[in-house]
Amino acid sequence: MAKDLILAVGASGTVGSAVVQSLKNEGYQVRSTTSKPVKHVGEYVHVNLATGEGTSEALKGVERAFFLSPAGYADHYAILSPLIQEAKRSGLKKVVLMTALGANASESTPFRRAEVELEKSGLTYNIVRPNWFYQNFNTFWAQGIREQGKILLPAGNAKVGFIDARDIAAVMAKLLTTDDQSNRAFDITGPESVDHADVAHAISKVTGKKISYQEIKPEVLKSGLISGGVPKDYAEFLILILGYLREGYNAAINSNVKLVLGREPTGLTKYVNEYKNAWL
Ligand SMILES: NC(=O)c1ccc[n+]([C@@H]2O[C@H](COP(=O)([O-])OP(=O)(O)OC[C@H]3O[C@@H](n4cnc5c(N)ncnc54)[C@H](OP(=O)(O)O)[C@@H]3O)[C@@H](O)[C@H]2O)c1
Nearest residue CA, atom 7 of ligand 1? Answer: 100
Q: Is there a contact between 186 and 260 (Cβ–Cβ < 8 Å)?
A: yes
pLDDT band at 40 (very low <50, low <70, confident <90, very high): confident
Average pLDDT rounded to a whole number, residues 47-64: 96
Nearest residue CA, atom 15 of ligand 1? Answer: 14
Condensed to tens digits (0 to 9), the pLDDT of residues 115-128 reads 999 999 999 999 99
Average pLDDT rounded to a whole number, residues 60-68: 97
Q: How far apart are CA 34 and CA 212, in angstroms?
A: 36
Average pLDDT rounded to a whole number, residues 91-98: 98
pLDDT of residue 41: 67
pLDDT band at 43 (very low <50, low <70, confident <90, very high): confident
Condensed to tens digits (0 to 9), the pLDDT of residues 157-192 reads 999 999 999 999 999 999 999 999 999 999 999 999
Q: How far apart are CA 131 and CA 168, in angstroms?
A: 9
Please check the confidence at residue 265 and state whether its pLDDT lies above 90: yes
**How far apart are the CA of 98 and the centre of ligand 1, in A?**
10
**Three-state DSSP class for residue 213:** strand
Please check the confidence at residue 59 and state whether its pLDDT lies above 70: yes
pLDDT of residue 1: 60
Please check the confidence at residue 51 and state whether its pLDDT lies above 80: yes
- Beta strands 125-130; 94-98: pairing state: parallel
Q: Is 137 in the pocket of ligand 1 (CB under 6 A)?
A: no
Which domains occur in the chain, in start order?
5-130+163-188+252-260 (3.40.50.720)
**How far apart are the CA of 121 and the centre of ligand 1, in A?**
23
Please check the confidence at residue 2 and state whether its pLDDT lies above 90: no
What percent of the chain is modeled with pLDDT above 70?
99
Secondary structure tally for the chain: helices H, strands E:
11, 9
pLDDT of residue 221: 97
Helix %, strand %, coil % for the chain, to 5?
45, 15, 40
Q: Is 133 in the pocket of ligand 1 (CB under 6 A)?
A: yes
Nearest residue CA, atom 28 of ligand 1? Answer: 70
